[in-house]
Amino acid sequence: MKNIGIGEKLKINCRSIIKDFEKLLGPEYNWNKKINFSNWAEYTNKGNQLLKTPSFNDKYRKILFMVGKHMQVKDFYYQAYPTFRIQLPNTKSVSFHRDDISSGHAENIFNFWFPLTELNQKNCIWIVDKKNSNTLIKKFKKEHLTFEELDILAKRKAKPAIIKKNEMLCFSNKTLHGTVDNKSDKMRISIDFRCLAINEDPGKKILGVDYIKFSKKIKNLLKKCTSVIFQSGDLSHIGHNAQRAVINDFAARNNFSIIRETSEWHHLNFYPVILDILKKTPDMPVLIFSKSSFDHKSDAWKELSLKLKKHKGEVYFCLENELYNR
C-alpha cells in the first residue's frame, strides 16, 4: 500500500447523506445558526444514531467499495459505525493525537474523513507529516510530555487539510492529527471512520464487533430493533443521553440496528410504551436500558415480565448485558 495514507483527496458524493441530515437538522443553509452550545451534545448524539440506521449503512457500503479500491484490496476491516462530529466556532474539537495511543485503535489503520459543511483553515483537520510525527511521538514517550505540550509541538509542525464538500481525506495513523481553535464564525460537521488491512493487529479493538470484515459478497446482516430508555427506579439519576450511549454501544457490539428509539412513560401503574411495542412488533428485538429501572415488587412489573418472556423477538437489558426472554 505505497503512497496511501499521506493525505490523498478522494472524490465522494455527499448529497444523499446531507439530505438525510437535513431531515434531522433542518435545511443545510441554517445549520450554522441552529446548532449552538446548548444543543451541540444533543445533535451530536442524534447524528451518531443516524449513522447506525439501515439507510446510512447502504450509503456507507458504497463509500467502502471506493475505499477498497483506494487501498488496492478486495477484503479489509472497517469501523462498524462511523463517527459524527460537530466543531462549533470558538471551540477545539480534538487535540493532536495518534489513534493507537489515544483510543487503542490498530497502529496501521487508515483514517477516512469527510466534511458535510464548507471548511476553512480554522475548522478543518490538521495533519503532521509522518517524519515529524515519529519524532514528536518519540519525544512524547521519552520525556513524558503532557498532552498540552505535545499539542503545542504538533501544532507547529501541522498543516491544514482543507478539502471541499464531496471530497474525502485519507491519512495514515502514522501521522499525528488534530484541530486548532475554530476562530472562524463557521461551524464544521464531519464524518470519519477507519479501515484496517487483513492480517493486521487490531490493537484493543475487537474484530467482528468494533471492526467488520468487508467483502463484496457480504450483505448487511444487522438486526433491526427498537430501543427503550427509562429514567426511573434505582437509575432515575441517569439521564437520557447516558442511557442512549449505553444502548447504542450494546447495539453496535451485538450487530443491532436501532430503527426506533423511545422512552417509557412515568408515574403509571403499567408500562404503556413497552406494551405497545410488544403488541405491534411481536417479532422485533427490544433493547431496554436496564432492569433496575423497574420496580420488581410491583404488579406492573410482574405483568410486564411475563409479556417480555413471551415476546418472540429477543429482549435485552443493555446495562446488565442480559438476554431476558430465552
The label of the residue with cell 428509539 reads: 261
Cβ atoms of 169 and 125 within 8 Å: the answer is: yes
Cβ atoms of 161 and 109 within 8 Å: the answer is: no
Closest CA to 246 of 321, 324, 326: 321
Pairwise CA distance, residues 210 & 159, whole Å: 30
Q: What is the pLDDT of residues 33-60, one digit of tens each?
A: 999 999 999 999 999 999 988 889 889 9
Given its phi and psi angles, is residue 26 left (phi above 0), alpha (psi -120 to 50 degrees) or beta?
left
Contacts of 35 (CB under 8 A, 6+ apart): 25, 43, 86, 88, 187
E-strand ranges in 231-308 read 256-263, 286-288
The label of the residue with cell 409479556 reads: 307
Three-state DSSP state, 11:
strand
Cβ atoms of 127 and 176 within 8 Å: the answer is: yes
Q: Which CA distances in Å does 146 have to 103, 136, 150? A: 16, 12, 6
CATH topology of domain 223-323: Rossmann fold (3.40.50)
For the chain, the distance separating the N- and C-terminal CA atoms, rounded to the nearest angstrom, is: 47
Superfamily of domain 6-214: q2cbj1_9rhob like domain (2.60.120.620)
Q: What is the pLDDT of residues 74-111, one digit of tens each?
A: 889 999 999 999 999 999 889 999 999 988 999 999 99
Return the domain boundaries, the chain: 6-214, 223-323
**What is the pLDDT tens value at each position of the chain, 326 positions in all?**
667 888 999 999 999 999 999 999 999 999 999 999 999 999 999 999 999 888 898 899 999 999 999 999 888 999 999 999 999 999 988 999 999 998 899 999 999 999 999 999 999 999 999 999 999 999 999 999 998 999 999 999 999 999 999 999 999 998 999 999 999 999 999 999 999 999 999 999 988 888 998 875 545 567 899 999 999 999 999 999 899 999 988 887 888 889 999 999 999 999 999 999 999 999 999 999 999 999 999 999 999 999 999 999 999 999 999 999 87
The label of the residue with cell 412489573 reads: 301
Closest CA to 275 of 320, 230, 244, 222: 230
Cβ atoms of 128 and 96 within 8 Å: the answer is: yes
Cβ atoms of 159 and 85 within 8 Å: the answer is: no
E-strand ranges in the chain read 6-11, 76-79, 83-87, 110-115, 125-127, 159-161, 167-172, 177-178, 188-197, 211-214, 223-229, 256-263, 286-288, 315-317, 322-323
Provide the grid cell at 259.
430503527
Contacts of 143 (CB under 8 A, 6+ apart): none
Pairwise CA distance, residues 201 & 108, whole Å: 8
